[in-house]
Every structure is written in C-alpha cells, then in structure tokens.
Structure 1
C-alpha cells in the first residue's frame, strides 16, 4: 500500500494517492528490500518541480506503471529538500551514468541501496519497459548487476575524494602565501591575492553575457554567490568593467519576467537568455540570497531599482511565505489552475493582450512600451510575460512626460494587475520550514535592514531567529532540519549549521548582542565534534550520529546555494577574530590550500574565492565601544564594506576581541588588522573615511 499519507512533506503528500505503493526512506523500508531481495526504486523530487508533476501525472498515477512497480520493486519517494544527503548520493550516480542531472531523479538500486541504473524524466512506456528489463536481468543474471553496481559505487566514492592540488600548483600557492598555517602572519598582500584570482577572472569573463548580464547560456540561473563575489572583487580592485557587469546583470534580472514586478519575488531560473520566461516556481533560498545581493549593490550604488526589488521581495515573503510563528515556508509551485481547472505552468502569472487592453484602457499603449506587450515580451499561446527593456527615464523622454508621473503610473498599473491576479487560483504552497533556507532568508532581512534601515526588517529577522531556536535547536545541542504542523524532524545537515551560524553572525553585526556570537560558536563547535574529518580537513555533509548511506558526501562546490564547507570556512574566519581562536583560522587556511590551487571552473567556487579575499591586506576590523556604539554601528552598516569585520560594545565585554577596549563615558573607534589595533580614535567621520579607502 501507499504509505505517504503518514508524512508531512507537501511533495510526498502530493503522491499519497498514487496507485504506486510508495514508502518513505527509513530503516524499515530498507530492511524490507533486503529481506525480500527486491530491487529498489528511488524517486526524488520536490513540490515546486514542474517535470516532477508531469511524470507523476503521466506515470505514477497510471495503473499499468504502478502494477509493474508494485509487483517487483520496493518504491521509495524522497523529498530532496528534506533529504539533500540522499539526493546528493544518487545525483552523483545519475551524473556518472548519463552525464547530466536534474529532477525528477529516478534510480533503480540493488536491495542494499547501491544504484545500477538511473536518469531524470521518463515517459510512461519507456519507464515500464526499462523496469521490466532490469527485473529480468536481476532474476537471470544478478552477478552482472552486482558487478556494475560495484564499479558505479567506486565512481561515486571517487567523486567524494577532495583532490589534493598538483605539486606545481600547490608549490606556487605556498610560495605566494608562505604564512598560510602560521596565523600571526596569515594575511597575504593584495597583489598576491589578485595574482592568484585574476587568471580565474579572465577565464570566467569569457562566458559573460554583455547584453543581458549573467552567463551567456540558457537556461540562466541567478547564482547569487557568484555576483556577491564579483561585486566585492570589482569594488576592492577598482575594476569598473566588473562592477558594470554586475549592475547590468542585476538590472536585467529585475527587469525580466524572472522577477515578479506585480507582487515581488524571483522565480528559480529563466529558460532563455534575456531573463524573460522563468520556470515559475518561487523558492525561499533564491529570494533570501537575492535580497542580500541587492542590498549590497544598493549600498554601493544607491540605485532606486534595487531598493524597489528589495522592498517588493520582502513584502512578498512576509505575505506569502511566512507562518504566524516567525518561520518561512519553502516555495510556491510553478503550476497553478487555469480557468478550466487544469494545472499549467505559469498560469497564475501570464497575461493575454486583450485582458491587458481591457484593464489599462487609455494607458495601454504606454503600458505596452514599459512592459513590452510586443514581440519582445511574447511567450507562447497568446501569453505575455511582463518584461522591461528600457529605463523609465528613456520611455518618459520618448513620450514627453515627466519621469515621476510615469513612475506613479507604473505603480498604479502594478496595483491594478495585482488586484486582478488575486482573483486567479494561486500556485500551491510548500509550507514546510527548513532550517538552512530560513537562515538564508533571515540574513536577507538583516542585510536589507543594513541597507534600508527599516526597523521592521530587523524585527522580522529576530522573530525568525527565535522561531528557529525554539523549534529547531534541541536541548541535546543538535539542530533539526524540518518543521511542519508543529512537528520538527530530521537531524540537520552541515548546510543547516553553516547557514544558521552565518545568519547569527549577521544578527550580531546589527545588534551587537553577543548572544548571537555565542550561539554561533556553540553550533560551530558542535560541527567540529560531529561533522569534521581530520584526515580530509573538511566537514562531512551528514553528522556522525546519522545512519550511514552507501557513500559519504563532502560538499565543496558552490552552487545555487554556496557549498556548506565554503560557508563554514567563511564563518570560521570571522569567529577566529571575535574569539581569538587560532585553530579556527588554521582550519580555514588548510581548506583554502586544498581548494584554491585546484580551481578550474571559477563560478563553482565563488564563495571560496570570497573567503580567500579575507586574507588580503585590505581586510580590516573595526571595533566601536561606548554607550553610543550601536548608533554608530547603524551608520556604518549603511555602507558597502565587504572587507570590514565589525564589532561593538556598549559596556565592558567578555568577548576576547573586545577585551579592555571599553572606556567609560567615551565612544572609541579602533581600526585593526589581523587583530592588531591602531590607537583608538574619537572621530567617526575620519574613521569612516579610512574604512572606505
């Protein structure tokens, strides 16, 4: 029988009525496969995945396909968002077998869980035919299957090996940074950092799209950590070309159909080169990171478009992706019901020309120029996805109207469209709360607060932090990954710890409340106890308290979400300064020494390169002490200072980095480098000027 009705995952519940006898991944299910000597089907997806829905409708709702699956196989459905550890293992297997990956992810495994075949989306008859062939092979020649499984398993294990740099690259790196491993002299010269990174940038730039921003390929993913690094590197090296490219990318993303100008929030990716037509699902992790990115860019440029993007996105998250306890939901689906009650991708978001003409009346011609109700904005089947091409200033000039009047009209049009769109059937909501994704959104609210100084953003961030601590951090010291319907489940992964630590550090930077740093350190030390591998010098993705899978996973490549190891490295560097912990910094240096000389594909290591920049002589620390410390921290946070680590105290502090820096009745500014501070200043403007130059 189908057992998924007992689960809380919206994705698993979507499959609870399938005729397939789905089971969840657990020790009982795995033991059943071994005891009955049956092949296992592992099928992985997520609630907002369009092609997952297509395969469910075509195949998993079909009685003929279900009969084949039920007769011979143990069928396991997995929500990849709940179990990224399982997804990582079988994704590696499918990538080895097929050279590509994606979702739905489907694998057939031996009774012990080792995969023998796999792929992504399959049509019904291809699926049934393949399953029948695999079952016959298992019955008649199991030795051949076992032999292939062993070879494939070796391939999966080889992907887990973190390759040591070749001797030439390693020796070059060590000659450039001889003090790595010797913390007192840990910073490298800026020129040496640039000498190491510039060749990677030169290679990366060749793939830039200089017309629409992003990479010159489709589909186009936003990859926020890529632009976080490029913005910082362009700023620190005074590289105008790089800064212009980042601003082009952020502008075109905000103009594109990828961004929901009507109600805020970004979709997951664009299927075309111009950011026009997205896969329409809206994911929390994208929006959290993009708010942080646009906040950084706004601090540097003061571009009002970026402010609009931040405000609309946070309004959307607060309205559509928030529970009443301070938690954030995962996603809105790509699919929604049409007027004919058919699920269709993008149905909630697209517009017909006649509908827009009826709504806009005399303004339709001007509206069409702003949102391209023309060949540029046309999608398919009479549908338009709103996309901007030209700045409002240019359109206003062409039409001989004041810019502020056109801005007011645009806002009025968007309100009109919002009211009309709310009459439609909304996309389905994935209402589970994941620790790591909540942490990304928490940091988004903190970064928006820094940039825009809206106290409501800080209030929301603090409420979310309280929600996580109350519901997802146990008395035993470990985190849980998932919260749904008052129930917290699944021992958390490195990703959850890394990103939550990162968000707690961000909270300290705006509140100077040291409890956030103490929380961060407690979680960091837990990671060393249960995730750190002394031999590999990296952190495993899963805790040593969890039941082992067929292969251990070490996440080192930055993807749409940065690698958990690179985020841990980022955290360790900052915490090493706050707590005077030389071991933390040694671990970061060991990780960088294994990663940086090996980088060949820079966009997959952008957060590592961001951590590496921390060892530049441009990196400094600022300590602000005195009863007005928070006031001045508030002013400093408005500025884009990615190379500055900020600390503050309104009275005496036990934090090692702040020890003996507080003087009664004085506000002091200590500018430091590598923990060594200059004579304190009382001049804020002079200190701020020094930080910027």
Structure 2
C-alpha cells in the first residue's frame, strides 16, 4: 500500500510559490520557472477563484473546493499575482492583484487597529485572531504591509498606503522590541521609508529585452511596471517616443530620466547608485505625457 499523499492545493501556498518562481525565472534567466508560475496561477484562478462573487476559496482537492475564506489565501495570492505582473507586464495579473487587495480589505481588514484578521467575520466566532509572528511562512498582515505599500506605488491609490501604514503602526512596538519576530514587516518598513524607483516600459516590441535588463542585479525597492491596466495616471502618460519603438523610463516619484530606447543604457542606469547625485541634464520632471522632439 503506498503511503498517504498530501495532494491538496492551497491558494495561499501557491501564491507564495508563484511569486518565488516568477522571481527566480527572471533573476536566473530560466523560462521554465516563469512558465511554471503562470501555469500554477492559471490553475488557482480556474479552480479556486469565483469572478462572479470575487471570492477566493482556500483549498482544492480532487475537484472539491472548500469555500473557506482566509486572509492568507487572498494576501499570498495577491503577492504571487503582483510579482507575476512585474515579471511579465501582463495587465491581467495586476488587475487581479488589485481586486484581491480590495476584497481582502472588505473581508479581513481591522479598520480600527490596522492589520488583517486570519478569517472572515462570522456570527459563530467568539473573537477573530490576528497572527503577528513570522515563522516558516509570513503572517498575512506582514505580507499585507508590504504588498499594499507596493500597490500604492504602482496604482497611485493612496488608500493602499494608508492600509500599509496603519498596519505597520499596529505592530510598531513589537518591531522595535523584537524585530526578528516580524522579519517580513521589516521589508515593508524599508520600502515605505525609502524612495522606491520604477522602471516603466512602454510598448511591446522590445519588452522582453527591457524586462531582462530590469530584473538583472540588485532589486531593492525597484518596481517594474507597464503602462496598461490599473497603473497610476502618471504612469499611463508615459509613451513610446515613436510608434513601435519600445521605451523605458526610470522614475522616482514623478521625476523620470529622459526616455530611453536602448536596453543597454537602462542597464547602465540600474548599475548606478540611486542615492548618488544625478546631473540635471539626465532628469526631467514630467507633468504630462512626454512629447518626442
């Protein structure tokens, strides 16, 4: 008799793995990992996501879906969708990440104190738990603190940053007294107090070449975004310098370097220290869509 096999499929664990595989595929330049991430994402969406009610069930096994609503499912799969978006610039992944973020707020967010409850509000619960100890897997609240900060930068939605900040403040004493207890939340602190940079890629013809460059080397507080889907209004204004000529912008806040069509130049920018002084000739404030000269 063969040993018992744990063959259930969890939305939460798959979300973490999808993000890791997508990141590995880009950093290691191995398309197998990226394709595996996309296949796993499609499976979870097809089996566990109900677009009619915008609900994500927790577990699937042999065709059976449990229907349980857990914050780790929404927030871990949000992470997987967001990382997969940055790895491919497929706007459908970002759209799903935004939907998951909104639903997680509606179902699990502690509006009074910040942070996310483990389960949905139900009449048969005496009280709702909030886990705040990162162990083998990070807590849902820790993942949320980082992901809502990132989504705020990508989408320009200020309410996401408010969720991230309030959730961080709810554990500020713990972070000061025992920072290793919330290692994942420390990433959120670093992201929120820093100046995240964005590589914005407009156009499709050379998108893959620019993506390979953008994912090379140090990626601390660096986001890779396109100009389609639920990105910020500012990002949507950035266009190709000429039709059919893929263009990259390197931006911090609403200040960007001049548009660039050569991936090698973008690679050089990314090798520079972002904290160093940059000459005015290589930066431009872009209040509206850039106009080719």
TM value normalised by structure 1:
0.37
SS in 2 for 1:670: strand
Q: Which residue of 2 aligns with 1:518?
A: 95
Cα separation, 2, equivalents of 1:458 and 1:674? 29
Offset, 1:460:
1.5
Q: Which residue of 1 aligns with 2:77?
A: 500
Offset, 1:618:
4.9
Cα separation, 2, equivalents of 1:428 and 1:638? 42
Offset, 1:443:
1.9
Cα separation, 2, equivalents of 1:547 and 1:467? 32
C-alpha RMSD over aligned residues = 2.1
Q: Which residue of 1 aligns with 2:259?
A: 680
Aligned residues: 266
Structure 1 segment 482-501 matched on structure 2, within 5 A: 482-501=59-78
Offset, 1:468:
0.5
Q: Which residue of 2 aligns with 1:628?
A: 206
Q: Which residue of 2 aligns with 1:637?
A: 215
Structure 1 segment 563-578 matched on structure 2, within 5 A: 563-578=139-154
SS in 2 for 1:677: strand
Q: 1:436 aligns with which of 1, 4, 12?
A: 12
Q: Is residue 213–residue 266 contact of structure 2 (8 Å, CA) maintained in 1? A: no
SS in 1 for 2:58: strand
Cα separation, 2, equivalents of 1:538 and 1:615? 16
Cα separation, 1, equivalents of 2:157 and 2:84? 20
Shift in CA distance, 426/642, structure 1 to aligned 2, threshold 3 Å: farther
Cα separation, 2, equivalents of 1:461 and 1:653? 20
Q: Which residue of 1 aligns with 2:180?
A: 603
Cα separation, 2, equivalents of 1:682 and 1:616? 31
Offset, 1:644:
0.2
Shift in CA distance, 654/432, structure 1 to aligned 2, threshold 3 Å: closer
Q: Which residue of 2 aligns with 1:454?
A: 30
Measured against aligned partners, the alpha-carbon deviations of 1:390-415 in whole angstroms (never above 9, x if no partner) come to xxxxxxxxxxxxxxxxxxxxxxxxxx
SS in 2 for 1:429: coil
SS in 2 for 1:570: helix
Offset, 1:667:
2.8
Measured against aligned partners, the alpha-carbon deviations of 1:55-85 in whole angstroms (never above 9, x if no partner) come to xxxxxxxxxxxxxxxxxxxxxxxxxxxxxxx
Offset, 1:639:
2.4
Offset, 1:606:
0.8
Cα separation, 1, equivalents of 2:194 and 2:251? 11
Offset, 1:669:
2.1
Shift in CA distance, 675/574, structure 1 to aligned 2, threshold 3 Å: farther
Offset, 1:542:
0.9
SS in 2 for 1:535: coil
Q: Is residue 636–residue 688 contact of structure 1 (8 Å, CA) maintained in 2? A: yes
Shift in CA distance, 602/440, structure 1 to aligned 2, threshold 3 Å: same
Q: Is residue 201–residue 248 contact of structure 2 (8 Å, CA) maintained in 1? A: yes
SS in 1 for 2:25: helix
Q: Which residue of 1 aligns with 2:285?
A: none
SS in 1 for 2:143: helix
Offset, 1:428:
3.6
Cα separation, 2, equivalents of 1:511 and 1:557? 32
SS in 1 for 2:55: coil
Higher relative contact order (CA 8 A, sep 6+): 2
Cα separation, 2, equivalents of 1:680 and 1:617? 24
Tell me whether 1:660 sits opposite 2:237 in the alignment: yes
Q: Is residue 596–residue 608 contact of structure 1 (8 Å, CA) maintained in 2? A: no
Q: Is residue 56–residue 69 contact of structure 2 (8 Å, CA) maintained in 1? A: yes
Gap regions ≥5 residues in structure 1: 1-424
Cα separation, 2, equivalents of 1:642 and 1:427? 43
Cα separation, 1, equivalents of 2:123 and 2:68? 10
TM value normalised by structure 2:
0.83
SS in 1 for 2:249: strand
SS in 2 for 1:533: coil
SS in 1 for 2:181: helix
Cα separation, 2, equivalents of 1:687 and 1:460? 28
Cα separation, 1, equivalents of 2:160 and 2:57? 24
